[in-house]
Structure 1
Amino acid sequence: MTEYMVPDPNGGYICTFAATLGVPVEAMRLLLTLVAGYPIAAFYRKVLINVSPKALHHIFFALCGAGLCYFNYGFDTYHSLIGIWMTYLLVRLLRGAPRLLLIINFLFHMSYLLLGYYFTASNEYDILWTMPHCILVLRMIGFGFDVTDGLRPIEDLSKDQKETALVELPSLLELTAFAYFPSGFLVGPQFPYRRYRSFINGEFRQYGGSVEAGLKRLAAGVLYLGICQLGLSYLPDAYFLTPAYAEVPFVKRLFFLGFWAKFSLYKYISCWLLTEGALMCIGFTYKGQDENGQPDWSGCSNVKLVLLETGNTMDHYVRSFNVNTNQWVGHYVYKRLKFLNNRTISYAAALGFLAVWHGYHSGYYMAFLMEYLIVSTEKQIERVYTKVVLPKYGEVLKNSRVYTVAYFVALKSYNIIYMGWCLCAFVFLKYERWIVVFKAVNYFGFIYMLVWACIYHGYRFYLRSTAKRSEAQTFSQATDLTATTATEEDKKTQ
């Protein structure tokens, strides 16, 4: 490899190495930063883990994280520093007015992020300072909620809020270290300040197995990264915008799009696995004990691999992908809207927040709209299947091998094909691009949901009409019976 490592006068060894591998230099820096979490973890466990005072730990993590941020984004690191210091200032000044603190803290961070998107957005998914900043925004907004929860009586808090509420405020150094924690600030995962404090206090050190678990996660991350690179080399994004793709037979088009979506998804998954492995190695992710009484180090898992690979529905994808961000939204957005007393509105608001948090591109809004519609459609289909089909034909279907095979093939095909439809807008971002792909596959996703909506609501209308006729018939029979009885009694009286 040494013959390729010739200094590039415009960017040095990293630019040359990135060009040799055929990847953007920003992606190479990102990958090196994720991998850097492992030597940082090794150094901390070997040298600093038992060192006092705790301030040295905070300094170490703050400097490592800020240094890695500067390595990626240079002078633009100041954006994250502004976000951290402004949060600290707001908490100190407005802690006595919790509602005002929540509003101003939320508006400041979301406005700053959206302004950043406005001035940096392009047609691609860019690796700029806005990428780690969107992680920081959720962390700082959640921190504000945790501070205000710490001011409330403990009996008024939910179980989740009791686990994250902050009674004692951290120092500026502690907050900076929390925000810049290596392997956690760049692509996630999200975690509350209470976890960071527990880690610094040594509450997880008595448990073993974190390094072994972390190295397994590292191996999985490398495997998924390799599959992603290989798959996208055969099915690159640009191919789906060409006339050649539109001329492929329809079924082939659907499966090509589905497999492309899987490979594209693996790009995110590999990053999460690499960062999660580093967090495990440093001993940060303790969750409790598993069913066998062994330490469970999956406390910061951002992807559930088994569910992701064996699931058959979009709901399985939702529950297995970007887990910590979904949990954050559930804890700080969805459950906080409980006063609306409407789960549908709360769910829609949570997805709307996620879309805005991602940026201005129409593809984000289309992707989250699709998630809402498809998950709702799947629940309707499952309801009809379990309440109508299984009671009538369950025994027959259960004993049929043909049905079992057909059921598996149908669901797995649906899982692959529809993933392509859902992820298309999210990846291509601009309407002018993702609508080309939608057109190439004949808008099948919209047609499927429209046909099902007609069937489902038509069936419900039929049931309501039948129920009304049955009630009317029962009422009529009851009226006739009453009239007959009254007539007979009149005759007896006469």
Structure 2
Amino acid sequence: MDAIFIPVASMVGASLDQVKLISCLLISYPLGSLFIRIPSSQPGLKHIFNLTVTLVYLLPVLNMYSALLQLLGSVIGTYMIAANVRGPRMPWIVFVFLMGHLLVNHIIRAIYHPGYDFGITAPQMVLTMKLSTFAWNVWDGRRPVADLDKWQSEKRVTKYPSLLEFLGFSFYFPGFLVGPYLEYSTYMSLIDESIYKSTGAHQNITSTKSGRNVPDGRKRVAYRKMAFGLAWLGVFVVLGGSYNFAVALQPWFATRSLLYRIAYFHICGVVERSKYYALWILTEGAGDMSGLGFTGYSPTGQSLWQGATNVNVLMIEFAPNFKVLLDSWNTKTNVWLRECVYKRVTPKGKKPGFRSSMTTFVTSAVWHGIAGGYYLTFLLGGFMSSISRLSRANIRPLLLPPPGAPPSKLKRAYDIAGIIITVICMDYIAAPFMLLSVRNSLAAWRALDWYGLWIIFGGLAFFYAGFPSDGGRDGEEAIAFASSSACWCYAINWHSVSDTRRCGD
């Protein structure tokens, strides 16, 4: 099918793999509309539909024949392990099996296929989250309910799926290529349409004009997301060649004033991120079209479709601090790291500590790949996380007005400064993740006069050289930064001049 996509790639100036990927996401919209029309009384047909569409994407469109065999191996391997290993080590066996396979492919890709735009590691990263979560959900289904927290109770699997059900879940087409992943219980609620049984005030508004149980408003939301996704894609296609983090490596860049370089670099950051906004918003809309994203009704009775949301653009580009930024990007990966790593390595009855945080950091790093730039981003982002937390804990309370009083000028100035510092540090910390090599990353930082290091380590010196602070690093914030690194997960999988990812607070 390359003959169909090559002229399009030449016309828009994009790579063949990029055109194929976007085409798959767009085709998922009408296919999602077909999927949701399959009656809930025919669950097997729904599973087969998912499997068939994904196979079409992988084989005739993306030509990923050997990759399919590997992905299928991960799926069948997980299915067999989770079914036959009954003890508490089962989820960890699945986890090591999946992460080990992923790491091997990261290494092979980095050594032998560094120039490919889209390869096995992109869908494999999504599948690793999905299958390892399934293993934990199965284990939770074998444990007493009293031992589970709210998320574990809601997602637990008490009835082991048939092979067809599991294949349909694993190859659910709207989110297979770039995510977001979904839990097995969520998938099955989509299949039997129990996902539409709202508990809100308007729970009786669940019958559409067609007589099905799918709430109205799905297409409105999905097509709006498609329009936003295509708009962001247009930003990247038009500006991506000129505005990218690699500009810091060009001789002319260092000759401009520092303020100009910081402003220009931030524009590059917005353009870099636009590709990820496009990918995730498009796949969110495709998920909504298939019926996945329903989350209830507003007070006015309008249906809400936020269940597939994976990114909040405004809260990233205007984040008042890194904590908000982290919570707004790649939220599903955040959930995976928190629920399937951070909490699971913490002994029962104990508070998460250093071991939990470091295990999560290592997991996030291995999940991403082996490029040195990733680890520069993780390291510097960890320091930035600490600075932000210390600032919120020690400076912000001094500026808060009395209850009922309007914010003071100092508080408004603090908020504005928080946004500015967050966004320029986000660009600085993200650059190594896009440039990949340590040499290019350090060269880019040097071209920016190391401003990010001055801000971060100057802040550390300020707090630890005498300013009263609560010290330490909160465990939940540690996991937040580790999960934030996931926002750059496709840097190694869909990499042109440079790629973006979000940094953490």
What's the TM-score bracket when you normalise by the shorter of the two chains?
0.7 to 0.9
CA distance in 2, matches of 1:439, 1:358: 25
Per the alignment, in what secondary structure is the counterpart of residue 121 of structure 1?
helix
CA distance in 2, matches of 1:369, 1:90: 35
Per the alignment, in what secondary structure is the counterpart of residue 337 of structure 1?
coil
In structure 2, the residue matched to 1:35 is 26
In structure 1, the residue matched to 2:15 is 24
CA distance in 1, matches of 2:170, 2:470: 55
CA distance in 2, matches of 1:117, 1:463: 40
CA distance in 1, matches of 2:470, 2:10: 64
Question: Does the C-alpha gap of structure 1 residues 280 and 116 become closer, same or farther in structure 2, counting only changes over 3 Å?
Answer: same
CA distance in 2, matches of 1:413, 1:116: 38
In structure 1, the residue matched to 2:147 is 156
Find 1:364's aligned residue among 341, 359, 374. 374
CA distance in 2, matches of 1:382, 1:208: 42
Per the alignment, in what secondary structure is the counterpart of residue 288 of structure 1?
strand
Find 1:295's aligned residue among 292, 303, 308. 303
2:57 matches 1:63: no
2:120 matches 1:129: yes
Question: Does the C-alpha gap of structure 1 residues 104 and 211 become closer, same or farther in structure 2, counting only changes over 3 Å?
Answer: same
Per the alignment, in what secondary structure is the counterpart of residue 459 of structure 1?
coil
Question: Does the C-alpha gap of structure 1 residues 148 and 462 become closer, same or farther in structure 2, counting only changes over 3 Å?
Answer: closer
Question: Does the C-alpha gap of structure 1 residues 271 and 42 become closer, same or farther in structure 2, counting only changes over 3 Å?
Answer: same
Question: Does the C-alpha gap of structure 1 residues 110 and 463 become closer, same or farther in structure 2, counting only changes over 3 Å?
Answer: closer
Question: In structure 1, what residue type is equivalent to 2:437?
Answer: K
| CA positional deviation for 1:74 | 2.5
In structure 1, the residue matched to 2:171 is 180
In structure 2, the residue matched to 1:268 is 276
1:78-157 equivalences in 2 (<5 Å)? 78-94=69-85, 96-97=86-87, 99-121=88-110, 126-157=117-148
2:439 matches 1:432: yes
Of the structure 1 ranges 281-290 and 176-185, higher mean CA displacement relative to structure 2 is found in 281-290
Q: Which has the higher contact order (CA 8 A, sep 6+)?
A: 2
| CA positional deviation for 1:171 | 1.2
Question: Does the C-alpha gap of structure 1 residues 154 and 462 become closer, same or farther in structure 2, counting only changes over 3 Å?
Answer: closer
| CA positional deviation for 1:49 | 3.3
| Equivalent residues of 2:14, 2:237 under 8 A apart | no
| CA positional deviation for 1:124 | 5.7
Question: Does the C-alpha gap of structure 1 residues 197 and 247 become closer, same or farther in structure 2, counting only changes over 3 Å?
Answer: same
Q: Which whole-Å deviations, capped at 9, do the CAs of 1:440-482 have from their partners, x for residues lacking one?
A: 1122222222211111112247999xxxxxxxxxxxxxxxxxx
Unaligned runs of 5+ in 1: 1-6, 465-494
1:18-417 equivalences in 2 (<5 Å)? 18-46=9-37, 48-49=38-39, 52-70=41-59, 71-75=61-65, 76-94=67-85, 96-97=86-87, 99-121=88-110, 126-203=117-194, 204=196, 205-339=213-347, 341-343=351-353, 345-390=355-400, 398-400=407-409, 403=410, 406-407=413-414, 409-417=416-424
CA distance in 1, matches of 2:105, 2:44: 32
Question: In structure 1, what residue type is equivalent to 2:436?
Answer: L
Of the structure 1 ranges 406-415 and 177-186, higher mean CA displacement relative to structure 2 is found in 406-415
| Equivalent residues of 1:314, 1:371 under 8 A apart | no
Aligned length: 448
| CA positional deviation for 1:343 | 4.4
Per the alignment, in what secondary structure is the counterpart of residue 296 of structure 1?
strand
| Equivalent residues of 2:435, 2:441 under 8 A apart | yes
| CA positional deviation for 1:222 | 1.3
Percent sequence identity over matched residues? 25
Q: Name the Cα RMSD after superposition.
A: 2.6
Question: In structure 1, what residue type is equivalent to 2:110?
Answer: A
TM-score by length of 1: 0.84
Of the structure 1 ranges 132-141 and 245-254, higher mean CA displacement relative to structure 2 is found in 245-254
Between Structure 1 and Structure 2, whose CA radius of gyration is higher?
A: 1
Per the alignment, in what secondary structure is the counterpart of residue 226 of structure 1?
helix
| Equivalent residues of 2:393, 2:469 under 8 A apart | no
Per the alignment, in what secondary structure is the counterpart of residue 302 of structure 1?
coil
CA distance in 2, matches of 1:355, 1:415: 22
| CA positional deviation for 1:305 | 3.1
| CA positional deviation for 1:404 | 6.7
Question: Does the C-alpha gap of structure 1 residues 91 and 397 become closer, same or farther in structure 2, counting only changes over 3 Å?
Answer: closer
Question: In structure 2, what residue type is equivalent to 1:311?
Answer: A
| Equivalent residues of 1:240, 1:437 under 8 A apart | yes
| CA positional deviation for 1:406 | 4.5
| Equivalent residues of 1:272, 1:303 under 8 A apart | yes
| CA positional deviation for 1:408 | 5.3
Question: Does the C-alpha gap of structure 1 residues 173 and 312 become closer, same or farther in structure 2, counting only changes over 3 Å?
Answer: same
Question: In structure 2, what residue type is equivalent to 1:45?
Answer: I
| Equivalent residues of 1:154, 1:162 under 8 A apart | yes
| Equivalent residues of 1:289, 1:296 under 8 A apart | yes
Per the alignment, in what secondary structure is the counterpart of residue 336 of structure 1?
coil
CA distance in 2, matches of 1:249, 1:274: 38
CA distance in 2, matches of 1:155, 1:21: 56
